[in-house]
Each structure stands twice: as C-alpha cells, then as structure tokens.
C-alpha cells in the first residue's frame, strides 16, 4: 500500500510522449483488430502487448487505466522485493526500507506503463519463488513451478532480460540435493507462457513476422545505437541507484572472504549472487540510470543478506552508526521526489480523448494534443519521429505501421514503407522537432554514428514537400497536406 501511495500522485502526469506509448499504441491496435507484427511493427516480444491489451479491454482504454496497471506493477515489484529480502535477511526493517527507498529514487518521471516494469515484476517473482524454495525445509513443487512460469513470462516481455533471470534461477533446481521433480517442474514452468504465446502467434499466422521483428531485427539493429556510459543521466534523486550493484558485490565479497568456511556451501548466498549478476546484465546494452532503476531490485536480496550478516556481530552502537549513515546518504533523494509530487499535483488536468492528463514539464504537449483533437477524426495522422503515446491520447490512429523512427535503427526500407503509407493516407503530420535535432540525438544516443543519415534526410524532405507547416507549439509542429501535390515515385527517392 505504501508503494502504491508513493506512485499515486503521478496517475495522470505525462512527462514524455515516447516509451509508454509503445505498449499502449500496440495494445490499442490489437484491440482494433490489428495483428501484432503482421499489421504493425514492434521489436518487443508479445507478452507485454497481450497483457496490456487484456487489461485495457477489461478496464478501458484510458490513461488512468494504463497508469493503474503501471502502479500495480511497480507496487508488485516492491512487494516481492520485500518478500525476497525477508527470506534472506530475516530483518523486517531492512526488508521494508529497501523497496521504499527504491520507490522514492525511481518514481516520478518513470511512473508509466513500461515493458521493463512488467519484466521486472515477473523477474522478482522468480527471485522470490527461487529463494523460497531454497529456504523451505520440506521442498514443494509449487516453488519451482512458480519460478519457472514467472521466468518464462519475463522472457516473453523482454527476451534478453528474462533469459538472464531464467538462467540465474536454474542452479537452484539442478543441484543434486534437489529432487528430479523440482528440475522438471521448473523447466515445465519455464515453457508455459512461451508455448502459449507461440501458439497464439501461429494461430494468427504471424510467426515469421514475429521472428523478423523480435529476433532478427532486434539483434542486427537495436544494440548498436543504445550503449551509454554506466549511470548516464543520473541526478540527485536517483544517483544512489548506480551504486547498488557495486556495493552489493563489494559487501558480498567481504562476506565471502571473511566467512568463507560457511559461505562456500551457502546456496542462498550464491543464488542471491546469481540474481544480482543477472540484474546487472539486464541493464545492458543501455546501462543508463533509468535502466539501472528497472533492474536493481534483483540485487536487493544480495544487498540485504550481506548487510545483515556483516552487521550481525557488530554492537548496537555500530549498527546504529551504519544505518544512520545510510539514512543520511538517502535523505537528499527525498526532495526531488517531493518536487515531482508537487509539480504533478499542481498541474491543471487537460481533457483528452484518452482521459484527463497533466503536463507539468511540457513544452507544447497540451497545445498540440488540443490542436489534433480539434481536427476531423476521419482524417489520417502521422506522428514523427517518436510519439507513440499521441495516438492513445488523441484518439487519432497512426497511419504508418511504424511508431519509432530513429537514425541508425530504422531501416531505409522502413522509411520507404512509412512514406508510402503517409502519401496514401495522411492528411496531417505532427513532428517533434526536439526528437530530430542532431544535438539532442547525440545526447540521448551517444553511440549513434550519424544522426542525419541519407534515408532520414530524404524522408523528412518528402514530408515537407508534400505537407506545409500550419502551427508550432513548443517543440511540436503541425503540418497539413498541400493540395495538388503529385506523390508518385517520391518515396522511391529514399535511399540508404
């Protein structure tokens, strides 16, 4: 309840029109009859879209509905983090303090529906069930089954992150002490959701398209522009999150060296270490502070276990000094969280087709949404380059099967197909000028080699040839189709 209460102030707040819209736009298209991967492109596995589509179908396609799912997910991560830390530490104070501190450091801007939150929830459920299995005196098949099912679902939301968690849990059910039934139960559990989702794709005749989008395309084009220095974009609120993995490993190393005789056979300790390593790997290929925030719950059990065991022999005065020092370090993170809370609560709510929304840090967002809302719903709309939340908030669908256009990531062939869709169906184009600025792109994607490749330049040239600027609000520009422009063969000029 505390975690949900800390997230609740951001129920209607919109900070950015990007990542959150990926799941929401994809789920909305599915509810409208579109086939994932066949009728529109997505590089994420199906799990997040299916979960989101099911939730929106039951509770409504509104921003508030989506945010309730987000808050429930984040609260679930905090709950199972508490349970996992309690299993390994036996300290209620530490088990409560760790997830609450994480909530304060991570929420505000990122209290949104995101595939990483969904994956983290199933990952930490895997951690909890695995540690519960090791702790239980009389092994039960429920633990490996739950761990396997959760790990399999994590793989179906973010395949690489889920795979690391699945592999990290595997030793707990393979060590000779365990029953063969535990191993079989875990493996069967791991296959439940992948088998169900593959069947779903096969029945929708989208397996080949899914393989290209999720496996081939992601492997060849995603990671190359994503790498950032570790902890990039850290601020006062989340600065400490980047030290969780190093501190957890340092304390674990101290504990292992100090008490090697007892620790080398301690399966609980080594299993926590495996999950910490999996969490660290989950930060890549983009280990900025945001992705660290998504992944650090996997390190908390090791941090809690090592802290309690190292301080167990310290006197009460020493423990008080240690915890007071930690509290002093954490205290500065509270002020930025409160700033987000105040800003979110004071911003006026704007009525949108997707429900009430507030834009406390916006530069033109409410204005462009109102502008689009005033235009005919029957017209075609194209949002460029990365505005997947706009169709959800405006109720005006994206005419293109692509919702993300990033230099070095989007293929020239995809620009051409998008161009043909725009020439055929769009009456209006909405452009976020910030997202196409080379300086901005280099800041966000420091590994991007060329923020203005030929295919991007050619595509934008065609847009401005066929569409004329009408208004601009902040960073957002609205364009309308020029009358009498011949569009044949224009898209063929897009090379790359």
pLDDT bin (cut points 50, 70, 90) of residue 487 is confident
Residue 467 has pLDDT above 80, yes or no: yes
Token pair recorded at residue 9: 């102030």
Q: What is the mean pLDDT of the chain?
A: 94
Say if 58 falls within a structural domain: yes
Same domain, 254 and 386: no
**413-437 pLDDT tens trace:** 999 999 999 999 999 999 999 999 9
Which letter, b or e, does each residue of 310-344 get, where b requires 16 or more Cβ atoms within 10 Å of its Cβ? bbeeeeeeeeeeeeeeeeeeeeebeebbeebbebb
Looking at 337, 372, 401, the residue that finishes a domain is 337
- Please choose, from the candidates 362, 334, 300, the residue with its C-alpha nearest in 3D space to the C-alpha of residue 107: 334
Structural domain count, the chain: 2
Q: Sheet of 428-432: strands edge to edge?
A: 381-384, 428-432, 476-481, 467-473
pLDDT at 319: 65
For range 169-193, the mean pLDDT: 88
Say if 311 falls within a structural domain: yes
For range 77-100, the mean pLDDT: 95
pLDDT at 325: 75
For range 361-383, the mean pLDDT: 93
Say if 165 falls within a structural domain: yes
For range 211-221, the mean pLDDT: 94
Say if 223 falls within a structural domain: yes
Say if 347 falls within a structural domain: no
Q: Is 363 exposed, middle or buried (0-12, 13-18, 19+ CB in 10 A)?
A: exposed
Same domain, 287 and 234: yes
pLDDT at 151: 98
H or E segment and range at residue 374: none
Q: Residue 399: helix, strand or coil by DSSP?
A: coil
Same domain, 305 and 394: no
pLDDT at 317: 63
pLDDT at 263: 82
Whether the CB-CB separation of 493 and 474 falls below 8 Å is answered with: no
Same domain, 285 and 329: yes
For range 134-155, the mean pLDDT: 92
Residue 171 has pLDDT above 80, yes or no: yes
How far is residue 25's CA from residue 31's CA, in Å, rounded to a whole number? 10
Same domain, 286 and 176: yes
Residue 177 has pLDDT above 60, yes or no: no
**Strand positions, DSSP E, 369-456:** 381-384, 428-432
Same domain, 312 and 383: no
Whether the CB-CB separation of 108 and 336 falls below 8 Å is answered with: yes
Token pair 């794709």 in the structure block, residue: 201
For range 443-464, the mean pLDDT: 96
pLDDT at 176: 60
Task: Give the list of residues 6+ apart from residue 220 with CB closer than 8 angstroms, or none.
Answer: none
Q: Whole-model pTM?
A: 0.96
Same domain, 214 and 324: yes
Same domain, 449 and 313: no
Same domain, 401 and 480: yes
Residue 203 has pLDDT above 80, yes or no: yes
Whether the CB-CB separation of 483 and 468 falls below 8 Å is answered with: no
Looking at 337, 370, 404, the residue that finishes a domain is 337
pLDDT at 149: 98
Domain with 436 in it: 362-493
DSSP 128-182: HHHHHHHH-SS--THHHHHHHHHHHHHHTTSHHHHHHHHHHHGGGGTSTTS-HHH
How many CB atoms are closer than 10 A to CB 281? 18
Same domain, 390 and 488: yes
Same domain, 56 and 201: yes
Q: Residue 118: helix, strand or coil by DSSP?
A: helix
Counting residues of the chain whose pLDDT is more than 90, the rounded percentage is: 87
pLDDT at 378: 96
H or E segment and range at residue 110: none
pLDDT bin (cut points 50, 70, 90) of residue 495 is confident
Whether the CB-CB separation of 402 and 446 falls below 8 Å is answered with: no
Question: What is the Cβ-side half-sphere exposure of residue 9, based on CA atoms within 13 angstroms?
Answer: 19
Say if 64 falls within a structural domain: yes
Cα torsion through 273, 275, 278, 280, rounded to 10: -70
Could you give phi then psi for residue 241, rounded to 5 degrees?
Answer: -60, -35
**326-360 pLDDT tens trace:** 788 888 999 999 999 999 999 999 999 999 999 99
pLDDT at 315: 63
Same domain, 322 and 456: no
| The Cα angle at residue 74 between residues 70 and 80, in degrees rounded to 5 | 140
N- to C-terminal Cα separation, the chain = 52
Read off the DSSP letter of residue 350.
E
Instruction: Classify residue 489 as left (phi > 0), alpha (psi -120 to 50) or beta.
Output: left
Question: What is the Cβ-side half-sphere exposure of residue 397, based on CA atoms within 13 angstroms?
Answer: 16
Say if 196 falls within a structural domain: yes
**234-276 pLDDT tens trace:** 999 999 999 999 999 999 999 999 888 888 889 999 999 999 9
**48-68 pLDDT tens trace:** 999 999 999 999 999 999 999
Say if 346 falls within a structural domain: no
Could you give phi then psi for residue 382, rounded to 5 degrees?
Answer: -125, 125
């Amino acid at each position: 309840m505390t975690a949900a209460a800390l997230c609740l102030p951001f129920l209607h707040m919109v900070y950015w029109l990007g990542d959150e819209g990926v799941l929401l736009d994809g789920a909305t298209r599915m509810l409208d009859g579109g086939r994932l991967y066949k009728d529109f492109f997505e590089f994420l596995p199906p799990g997040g879209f299916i979960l989101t589509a099911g939730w929106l179908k039951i509770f409504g396609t509104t921003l508030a509905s989506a945010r309730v799912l987000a808050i429930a997910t984040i609260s679930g991560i905090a709950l199972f983090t508490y349970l996992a830390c309690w299993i390994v530490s036996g300290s209620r104070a530490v088990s409560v303090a760790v997830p609450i501190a994480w909530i304060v450091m991570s929420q505000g801007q990122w209290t949104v529906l995101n595939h990483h939150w969904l994956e983290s929830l199933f990952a930490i459920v895997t951690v909890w069930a695995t540690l519960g299995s090791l702790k239980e005196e009389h092994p039960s098949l429920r633990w490996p089954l739950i761990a396997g099912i959760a790990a399999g679902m994590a793989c179906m939301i973010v395949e690489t992150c889920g795979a690391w968690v699945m592999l990290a849990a595997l030793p707990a059910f393979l060590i000779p002490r365990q029953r063969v039934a535990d191993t079989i139960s875990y493996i069967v559990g791991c296959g439940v959701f992948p088998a169900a989702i593959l069947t779903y794709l096969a029945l929708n005749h989208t397996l080949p398209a899914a393989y290209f989008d999720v496996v081939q395309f992601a492997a060849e084009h995603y990671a190359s522009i994503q790498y950032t220095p570790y902890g990039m974009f850290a601020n006062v609120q989340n600065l400490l999150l980047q030290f969780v993995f190093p501190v957890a490993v340092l304390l674990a190393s101290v504990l292992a060296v100090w008490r090697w005789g007892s620790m080398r056979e301690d399966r609980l300790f080594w299993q926590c270490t495996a999950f910490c390593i999996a969490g660290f790997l989950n930060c890549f290929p983009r280990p900025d502070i945001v992705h660290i925030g998504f992944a650090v719950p996997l390190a908390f059990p090791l941090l809690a276990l090592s802290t309690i065991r190292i301080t167990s022999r310290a006197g009460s005065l020493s423990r008080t000094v240690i915890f007071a020092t930690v509290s002093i370090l954490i205290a500065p993170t509270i002020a930025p969280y409160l700033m987000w809370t105040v800003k979110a609560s004071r911003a006026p709510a704007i009525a949108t087709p997707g429900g009430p929304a507030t834009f406390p840090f916006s530069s033109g967002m409410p204005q462009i949404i109102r502008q689009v809302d005033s235009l005919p719903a029957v017209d075609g709309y194209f949002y460029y380059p990365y505005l997947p939340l706009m169709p959800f908030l405006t109720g005006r669908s994206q005419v293109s099967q692509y919702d993300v256009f990033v230099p070095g990531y989007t293929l020239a062939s995809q620009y051409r197909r998008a161009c043909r869709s725009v020439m055929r169906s769009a009456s209006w184009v909405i452009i976020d000028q910030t997202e196409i600025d080379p300086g901005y792109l280099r800041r966000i994607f420091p590994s991007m080699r060329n923020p203005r490749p030929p295919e991007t330049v050619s595509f934008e040239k065609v847009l401005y040839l066929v569409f004329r600027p009408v208004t601009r609000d902040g960073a957002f520009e609205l364009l309308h189709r020029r009358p009498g422009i011949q569009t044949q063969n224009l898209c063929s000029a897009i090379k790359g």
